Chains A and B, each alone.
Chain A
Amino acid sequence: MVSPLYIIAVGLGAAFLLGLLPEKWQRAAYGVTLLALALMGWIAGSWLWAFALQGAAPVEIFTAGTQPPFAINFRVGLAEASLALLMALTGLHAALYMRDTLFKQGRRAMAVLLIFVMATCGVIFTRDLFNLFVFMELVVISTGGLVLLSADRRALGAGLKYLIVSQLVSILMLVGMVFAYHATGTLNIDGMAAAQVDLFKGGALAFFLMLMAVLAELKPFPANGWGLDIYESAHPAFAALFSAATGAATVYAADKLLLIGGAQWLPLASAIGIVTFVVANIFALVQDNDRRLLGYSSIAQVGLILTVIGQRDLLGEQYYFVAGGILLAHAVAKAGLFWLSGLVAARGLGDWAALRGHPVLVFAFVTFIALLVGLPPFPGFYAKWELAHALAANGQLWLLGLILFGALLEAAYLFRWFGYVLKREQPQTGLLLQAIKEDVALSAVVVAWLLAYLWGELSGQGNLLQAIPLLFALLFLPLDWLPAKLKNGLAVAGLVGWFYLHYPSYDALQLIFAAVMLPGGAIILLASFQTQQRRVGFYPAAMLMFAGLAMLIEAKTSFAFFAAWELLTVGSYFLILRGKHSEPHALSYIVFSLGGAFLMLAGFALAAQGVPDFKIAALAQVAEPFAPWVFALLAIGFMTKTAAVGVHIWLPGAHAEAETDVSPLVSGILLKAGLFGLFVLLMTMGKQQLYGVELTHVMLWIGAISALIGNLLAIFQEDAKRLLAYSSIGQMGYALFGLAMMNHLGWLMALMFVINHYIYKSMLFLSVGGVAKRTGTRDMYRMGGLITLMPLSFIATMIGIIAVSGVPPLSGFGGRWIFYNAIMTAEYRLPMVIIFLAGPIAFLYLFRLIHTIFLGQLKDELRTVKEAPFWIVLPQMIFVVALLVFALVPGMALRHVDAYLAPFFGGQSGLDWAGLTITSEFGYWSPVSIMLVIGVIFATLFAWLLFVNRRAQPVKQFNIVFAGERPFRPETTHFAWNFFAPYRKALGFLTQPLVTIFWETLTELLHSAADILRRMYTGNGQTYAIHLLAFVIIVYLLWMGGL
């Protein structure tokens, strides 16, 4: 194998060779450049292979024929080899990407590029301080040169500011170094570490200066304005290098330098890192220039890595796995995004909508964002998991909280950007496509997925990319060119097949949820046969959600559970985003969901206390003082998914604006994931007290208020789908209430809600969606009199609202019956009163669905409306049958669950399931008799009505006169708009959007703060220099003052 020293030699030699070539030999020069970079990559790659797979020991390379400290030495191990490979590959890609620019600028520019890559490798390899300084200065000088390759003339100013700052850095570095040398008598990093520089007089100060110099290159807050300017104005290929290569190399230099200082300096690194991470992410919120935004994000990510470096001791063996995962994810994603930015003509975030015409580029964009945010299955996800666990196990809760907060901000602005890509107006000539640039960007996608696989293998948690549901979902990506009907068939077969293969292994609870989610999902997907053409992007998203759901149900460990949770969250986000006007709603959904997910992560991490492979069942053994906190974190996480009041504001928009067949998916099915989580939580952890407050009691209140507020808001909606969406908040409130009662019947009722809500809400969303499709509006007051034109949709709606309202004979009544039994045994009276109040309110809004849409006067423009399409009606009819069956024999499903729940409540069954009658201690419920009685009453009344009206004669629509006036427009005879105006007058104060105002104010505050504070980056190079000096002085006062 070739010595790693040749990586340096090849870079340097080729750069000199370029200088010797005649000016005209452009092609030869370019060839030499590519060859040299490829060779450097090959050497690094072969060493990486040797270290990683053949277990080779790290090599020491001595120069000048003597040992350190009398000569410079290099060390190359696994970390160095992988970083060098990263440098060489990003360099090679940059050369390919910048081909035109390099040809224009000639061989000198190519030589500078080679020097840059060589110098970053040198920074990584060297174990000598002064040598480190030399390589860092080489990076600075070559950066100064490469910045000028930009077509943007503003890059000149940016480069100058960088040079000014780097002058300060080199002063700090040299002065620090010479005193450190004076104190220890060596310049060798390991020698200095052994000598423990801190012990010498002035040694700590010397080390401090050196550390500041290296950290300043990492662009810590606030000394980072110069970096941002370079990101914004440089050639995108160089910005990619600057972010990926310089960032990674300097991080590694900081890591080496901290060896000298030892453990007591680590907290400083963490502190600087976390401040930078959070602040840069806050500032990024208000960016509208793409490259500057990426710059802020780069700074934030490097800050995060610095934070991790500071936790080196705490992470132990996991250190390289965590830091490397975040670092590589950052490097690949950032390089990829910068490369993509070179394909987009204009610099506004909205201009990226130009990507939309190219699904492959959109996929690349999504990959990079997921990689950056750390979503499964990418390395950042595993790294985040380990990091959170290590921090929680060692009581670093503040740090964990800040990291998760920063990560949430980052996810927010990245997903907002993704929303722009898919939803903003697509510029006609927004792309500057060039095959080579595209290939370079796409190669990063390949690397991203390879890294995902690699980190999965290394994680010891089970590789997500080997999970069959996820692979099945990903399979739809290459199949996306097929017609939608074919893909839909495959999707339905997949859901049913997976359920068929796995249901024998499920317990009763899993079975209920799995049945609702998988075959239940298949039934809803029948409606998707309606769509024509290819429906690009729908199936990967939908199947990703289903993959998450399938994995959630089977999850045994907290890791599997959390991974599944994130998968289903992301999948459903993509689904929701497909709606025409759903951009802001999808964003609010993903932000709330990821916020909830991060709370869950914190909860699981706190629960595990460092135990690897933490089982879900082990939640039961979590002891004080963690238990109540774990409970609260997990419960809030799950409640964001069920849209409990307070964190519900994402739901109405997300569910209402989604496509016709997506609304039932995200409402009927997705909400159940939250209930499943709550079930698991309550089953394992039971009742918990925090500061003497019974947490389940709090949940009871939240459930009751959700039920009341959700229902109340639903009655004032004009938009039919919004009405249903608010109704879901209310319904989930009921389920939450039932669970929080912590008694057998309460849980049974919650499970009954799982089934019922799935059936009737899916059905109602489909019928309302079908009506909206035909009428072209979702506003109910624009409809009316559709009963004769859309009879099947009417039947479905009718059955649906009977079921929802909980009147006999349908299954909703069963739910109520169990519910009433349950609250007879519960202790809490006041929330019970509230939940009782919520009941009749449900009638009000349900009534509107029938009255306003199907009854009343047919509007002129709707006279030719046809019944909803066959495929949308079909699942509704299946649901009608299912509701009737479930109403007649609820015991079929519930008795098993009842038996399953019994052990949690002292082994006694709450109900007696003999025959077709269900008996509780307060009474009995016989569904069949009820159905018969109601049937007889209905038939009798109907017959009587027919008899009474036998002489009635049909009248035309306007054959009426009001107060001497003959109406001629349907609108004047059908009172439909603002139907409950009187109630609004009386109860309107309860529907004030207080929660929305709260969250909006919070977001607004963050944005305004960012907008004001980012003005500290005045653009003046001297101000930036002062920032750097101020940074050094403040850190000195805070840190050395306290040391």
Chain B
Amino acid sequence: MDWIAMATGFILILMGLYGALTNRNILRIIVSFSVANTGVNLVLVAVGYMRGRTAPILDEAVPMADAVTRIIDPLPQALVLTAIVIGLGVTALMLTYAYKLYEEKGTLDISKCRDLKW
């Protein structure tokens, strides 16, 4: 199971990168990065997964005493949550940029956005 998640994650990352580097349209680039970010999150969770263990929620099902042996490492999941929030922020910011650029230039083609160079 976990290796499938891991492999899917990496495939998503590579797909995202490929998309981000080959699409000219800024919106498509942003979507590609979202795909790649999802892949990263998947990898994160997959790394934290331990075979045969349960979710790291302490309740009647998993008493405090044997939590260490029964739950998976909660840390990567916490990381993923934070990473998702940050990813959301960055994506929002990029979308704002895309909107502003479209207002400014009337196009979403990134190769048209080359006023600054050398």
- Least Cβ distance of A1033 to chain B in Å? 12
Which residues 30-63 of B sit at the A interface, judged by CB distance below 8 A?
Answer: 33, 36-37, 40, 43-44, 47-48
Please, which residue of chain B has its CB at the minimum distance from the CB of A159? B97
Residues 432-444 of chain A, each 1 if its beta carbon lies under 8 Å from chain B, else 0: 0000000000000
Q: Quick check: B40 and A1017 within 8 Å, CB to CB?
A: no
CA distance A167 to B40 in the complex (A): 11
Report the nearest A residue to B111, measured CB to CB: A1020
- Cβ of A1014 within 8 Å of any chain B Cβ, yes or no, is yes
Report how far A171 CA is from B21 CA in the complex, Å. 14
Check if B101 is an interface residue, CB within 8 A of chain A.
yes
Chain B residues whose C-beta falls within 8 Å of the C-beta of A1014 in the assembled complex: 118
Q: What is the bound-complex CA distance between A228 and B86, given in angstroms?
A: 25
List residues of chain B with CB within 8 A of the CB of A580. none
Chain A residues with CB under 8 A of B44: 174, 178
CA distance A111 to B60 in the complex (A): 44
The yes or no answer to A319 lying at the interface (CB within 8 A) is no
Residues in B with CB closer than 8 Å to A314 are none
Contacts of B17 in A (CB 8 A): 168, 171, 1029
Cβ of A158 under 8 Å from chain B: yes
* A187 vs B76: C-alpha distance when bound (angstroms): 10
Against A, the Cβ 8 Å flags (1 = close, 0 = not) of B67-88 are 0000000011001001100110
> Across the A-B interface, how many residue pairs have beta carbons closer than 8 Å?
123
Cα distance A170–B98 in the bound complex, in angstroms: 20
Query: Once the chains bind, are B26 and A160 in contact (CB under 8 Å)?
Result: yes
A1022 vs B17: C-alpha distance when bound (angstroms): 11
Q: Are B20 and A157 in contact (CB under 8 A)?
A: no
Say whether B79 contacts A130, CB under 8 Å: yes
Whole-angstrom CA separation of A233 from B17 in the bound complex: 27
Q: Judge whether B94 is part of the interface by a CB distance below 8 angstroms.
A: yes
| Interface assignment of B66: CB less than 8 Å from any CB of chain A | no
- Are B13 and A175 in touch, CB under 8 angstroms? yes
Residue of A nearest to B29 (CB): A164
- Interface size, chain A (Cβ < 8 Å): 46
Dominant SS at the A interface? helix
Supposing A140-B90, A174-B40 touch, asked if A167 and B20 sit within 8 A by C-beta, the answer is: yes
Rounded to whole angstroms, the CA-CA distance of A275 and B55 in the bound complex is 48
Residue A1036, interface by CB 8 Å: no
Closest B residue, CB atoms, query A226: B116
Contact check: which of B24, B40, B90, B113 meets A163 at CB < 8 Å? B90
A1029 to B18, CA, bound (A): 11
**Distance in angstroms between the alpha carbons of A70 and B98 in the assembled complex:** 40
Q: Which residues of A contact B104 (CB under 8 A)?
A: 153, 156
- Contacts known (A164-B20, A171-B13, A171-B37); A134 close to B118, Cβ less than 8 A: no
With CB as the reference atom, state the residue of chain A lying closest to B78. A130
Task: Tell me if A154 and B115 are in contact (CB < 8 A).
Answer: yes
Residue of A nearest to B113 (CB): A157
Once bound together, how far apart are the Cα atoms of A1026 and B17, in whole Å? 10
Complex Cα distance, B92 from A144, in Å, reads 11
A232 at the interface (CB under 8 A from B): yes
**Total interface residues in chain B, CB < 8 Å:** 39
Say how far B36's CB is from chain A's closest CB, in angstroms. 6
Q: Which of B21, B36, B37, B101 contacts A160 (CB 8 A)?
A: B101
B116 smallest CB distance to A (angstroms): 4
A144 close to B82 (CB less than 8 A): no
Minimum CB distance partner of B41 in chain A: A174
| Chain A residues within 8 Å of B114, by CB | 157, 1018-1020
Cβ contact within 8 Å between B116 and A1019 = yes
Please measure, in the bound complex, the distance between the C-alpha atom of A1014 and the C-alpha atom of B86, giving whole angstroms: 34
Contact: A145 with B118, CB < 8 Å? no
Report the minimum CB–CB distance from B118 to chain A (whole Å).
5
Most A Cβ at <10 Å: residue of B29, B40, B76, B117: B117
Q: Does B93 contact A (CB under 8 A)?
A: yes
A178-210 interface code vs B (CB 8 A; 1 in, 0 out): 110110000100000000000000000000000
Which residues on A sit within 8 Å (CB–CB) of B33? 164, 167
> Once the chains bind, are A178 and B111 in contact (CB under 8 Å)?
no
**Assuming A134-B82, A134-B86, A178-B47, is B116 touching A157 (CB within 8 A)?**
yes
Contact (Cβ within 8 A) B79 A1022: no
Q: A661 in the interface, Cβ–Cβ < 8 Å?
A: no
Task: Check if A141 sits within 8 Å of B110, measured CB to CB.
Answer: no
Closest Cβ of chain B to A135, distance in Å, is 11
Partner of A154, one of B94, B111, B116: B116
> Which chain B residues lie closer than 8 Å to A1019 at the CB level?
113-118
Q: Give per-residue flags for A701-719: 1 if the beta carbon is below 8 A from chain B beta carbons, else 0.
A: 0000000000000000000
Cβ–Cβ < 8 Å partners of A927 in chain B: none
Docked-complex contact A187 and B75, CB < 8 angstroms: yes
Chain B residues within 8 Å of A167, by CB: 20, 33, 36-37, 90, 94
Within the assembled complex, what's the spacing in Å between the Cα atoms of A229 and B110?
A: 15
CB distance from B109 to the nearest CB of A (A): 10
A170 and B86 contact, Cβ closer than 8 Å, known pairs A175-B43, A178-B79: yes
Q: Please name 27 pairs of A and B residues whose Cβ atoms are closer than 8 Å in the assembled complex, sorted by A.
A: A130-B82, A141-B86, A141-B90, A141-B93, A144-B90, A144-B93, A154-B116, A156-B104, A156-B113, A160-B101, A163-B94, A164-B29, A174-B79, A178-B43, A178-B44, A181-B76, A228-B116, A232-B116, A1014-B118, A1017-B117, A1018-B114, A1018-B117, A1019-B113, A1019-B118, A1020-B110, A1022-B21, A1022-B111
Residues of A bordering B, CB below 8 Å? 130, 134, 137, 140-141, 144-145, 148, 153-154, 156-160, 163-164, 166-168, 170-171, 174-175, 177-179, 181-182, 187, 225, 228-229, 232-233, 1014-1015, 1017-1022, 1025-1026, 1029
Please name 20 further chain A to chain B contacts, defined as beta carbons within 8 Å, in addition to the given A160-B94, A167-B90, A1022-B21, sorted by A numbering.
Answer: A156-B113, A157-B101, A157-B114, A157-B115, A158-B116, A160-B113, A168-B17, A170-B83, A170-B86, A170-B87, A171-B17, A175-B43, A181-B75, A187-B75, A1019-B113, A1020-B111, A1021-B110, A1022-B24, A1022-B110, A1029-B17
- Per CB-CB distance, the 6 closest pairs between chain A and chain B, nearest first, are A1019-B117, A1019-B114, A229-B116, A157-B113, A154-B115, A160-B97
